[in-house]
């Protein structure tokens, strides 16, 4: 009996060790997603958004998300420790920097904060990763599907509040906006060191405004 208990204990410890080593915590990396636009069930070329991609840079508490397309570029730089953030927009030759406070950051991400994920048990291989399907439910009741890999877990869960409660890295997901559906699919991950200079806030070259000023501008005030 003692031998059996000892064997069972070793088996449990081995399983725990294997599981821990099978999962990789991502503290520093460059993650690239390709974007596809859909209307209904039909993929579209995307017009001016053809070839659009989203690149995420992670380094400790710092994160940077670059959304680039032939139409222009939008960059979000955020430090989850200080809660300082800026949004840089470059479109039609115009360069705008929007500064955000802690409260602004919460307001900006309100729609996608505290999303609840229901794990379906469905699995699928995407971009070479073994993924699991989850259904995300937002505060307003809207849902979307996301395939994630539990083998990779971002150390900084605040880099994208959409997936802060997801038990792994999002590999493919779809976001709807009006009649358009945007599908993001993981293209590649690079684990080389990320230059800290990528997270510096520009000090010149941009027209600067606060988050409140930008919101009022959108409203036409």
**Domain of residue 186, CATH code:** 2.50.20.10
pTM, entire model: 0.83
What is the extent of the structural domain holding 53? 30-216
Question: Quick check: is 157 in a domain?
Answer: yes
pLDDT at 171: 97
Question: Quick check: is 15 in a domain?
Answer: no
Compute the radius of gyration of the chain from its Cα atoms.
Answer: 20
- pLDDT by position in tens, the chain (length 221): 555 554 444 444 444 444 444 689 999 999 999 988 776 555 554 444 566 899 999 999 999 999 998 889 999 999 999 889 999 999 988 999 999 999 999 899 888 878 999 999 999 999 999 999 999 999 888 899 999 999 999 999 889 989 999 999 999 998 887 777 889 999 999 999 999 999 999 999 999 999 999 998 887 65
Question: Quick check: is 209 in a domain?
Answer: yes
CA atoms within 13 A on the CB side of 37: 15
DSSP string, 153-193: EES-GGG-GGGTT-SSEEEEEEEEETTEEEEEEEEEEE-SP
Q: What total number of domains does the chain contain? A: 1
pLDDT at 154: 95
pLDDT at 44: 52
């Amino acid at each position: 009996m003692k031998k059996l208990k000892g064997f069972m204990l070793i088996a449990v410890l081995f399983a725990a060790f294997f599981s821990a080593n099978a999962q990789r915590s991502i503290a520093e990396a460059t993650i690239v997603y390709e974007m596809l636009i859909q209307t209904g069930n039909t993929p579209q070329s995307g017009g001016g958004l053809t070839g659009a991609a989203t690149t995420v840079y992670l380094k400790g508490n710092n994160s940077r998300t670059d959304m680039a397309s032939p139409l222009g570029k939008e960059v979000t730089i955020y430090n989850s420790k200080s809660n300082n953030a800026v949004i840089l927009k470059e479109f039609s030759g115009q360069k705008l920097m929007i500064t955000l406070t802690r409260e602004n950051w919460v307001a900006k991400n309100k729609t996608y904060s505290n999303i609840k994920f229901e794990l379906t048990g469905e699995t699928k291989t995407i971009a070479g990763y073994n993924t699991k399907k989850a259904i995300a439910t937002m505060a307003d009741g809207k849902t979307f599907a996301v395939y994630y890999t539990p083998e990779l877990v971002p150390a900084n869960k605040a880099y994208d509040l959409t997936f802060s409660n997801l038990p792994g890295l999002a590999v493919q997901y779809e976001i709807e906006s009006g009649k358009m559906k945007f599908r993001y699919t993981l293209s590649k991950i690079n684990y080389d060191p990320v230059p800290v200079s990528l997270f510096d806030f520009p000090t010149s070259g941009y027209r600067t405004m606060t988050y409140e000023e930008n919101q009022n501008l959108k409203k036409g005030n």
